Structure 1
Amino acid sequence: MTKRENFSSGSTFEKAFGYSRAVKVGETVYVSGTVGIDYATGKCDADPVVQLRQVIKNIEPALNRAGASLKDIVQITTYVTSAEVFQTIGPVLGEIFDGILPTNAALVVQFPVPDVKVEIAAVAVIGSGT
């Protein structure tokens, strides 16, 4: 039987809405949709690029706790509030994932949290990183 491990970031959203930041099953790590709220301050910067960089800062510890890293990400789903936001963050995604090149689906959505413009969900396979 494959072991399942759940990892929390301590976000109030996780507790309130009943989910984990990441779940590891075997060598695969599934990371929940993660937004760019700075957990230390509870604030979300208005700039989508700043949000994107904070999203990555929020995802990395969950991956690390599960034994993975950004280099092990094989798939991301990027949620944005508009096509313009995606055009703004696209080059930064290219910079962050240069050499990793996960698959990516981008969707335009409306978020239930004020000021959020970017959210990313990810799947990583431990040891697959280059």
Structure 2
Amino acid sequence: MADDTVQRTASASPFEAAFGFSRAVRTGNRILVSGTGPIEPDGSSTLGDAAVQARRCFAIIVAAIEELGGSANDVVRTRMFVTDAADGDAIGAVHGEIFGDVRPAATMVVVAALLRPEWRVEIEAEAELAG
């Protein structure tokens, strides 16, 4: 893929079209995944605890990366925004399930709120594909 080629992918998030952004963008060998909340295919929020919501976020993220030619093994950075520090261990455990062997650079930040009040986590990711 030439470095000047840009590919984009979308998900079920109702915010993408309304706010004018892509779920993920690939430019060259780099894939950037936007902040991803726990959204179901019908646009509703994923119900459940922080671990359930984190799994949904990571499923959306990995699907976007795969659609653009990468895999979970290509992830080099994640950023997790959580609304309650008490959820950190549960979210971190899910991160470990998915990226335990990959071990990307990772950040977890506690924030006052996310876009929907029922969200406990929102996650970004970056992937770098070989050669």
Per the TM superposition, whether the score is higher than 0.5 is: yes
Which residue of the other structure, out of 102, 117, 129, is the alignment partner of 2:120?
A: 117
Q: CA separation in 1, counterparts of 2:93 and 2:63?
A: 23
How far does the alpha carbon of each residue in 1:68-104 deviate from its partner, in whole angstroms, 9 at most, with x for none? 1111000000110021111222122112111100000
- 2:106 is the counterpart of 1:104: yes
Counterpart check, 1:31 vs 2:33 = yes
The one-letter code of the counterpart of 2:124 is: A
Measure how far apart 1:41 and its partner are.
6.2
Aligned to 2:13: 11
Letter in 1 for 2:122: E
Q: Provide the aligned length of Structure 1 versus Structure 2.
A: 128
Q: 1:69 aligns with which of 68, 71, 74?
A: 71
Equivalence for 2:82: 80
Structure-2 residue corresponding to 1:93: 95
1:55 corresponds to which of 35, 54, 57: 57
State which drifts further: 36-45 or 10-19: 36-45
Quick one: which amino acid aligns to residue 91 of structure 2?
I
> Hey, what's the Cα distance between the residues in 2 that align with 1:11 and 1:87?
26
Q: Secondary structure at the match of 1:99?
A: coil
* Runs of 4+ with >6 A deviation: none
Deviation for aligned residue 1:46: 2.9
Name the one with the larger strand percent.
1
Farther-moved stretch of structure 1 (13-22 vs 106-115): 106-115
Q: Identify unmatched segments of 5+ residues in structure 2.
A: none
Gaps of 5+ in 1: none
Q: Give a deviation string over 1:33-67, Cα, whole Å, max 9, x none.
A: 11112224623213111001111111122111110
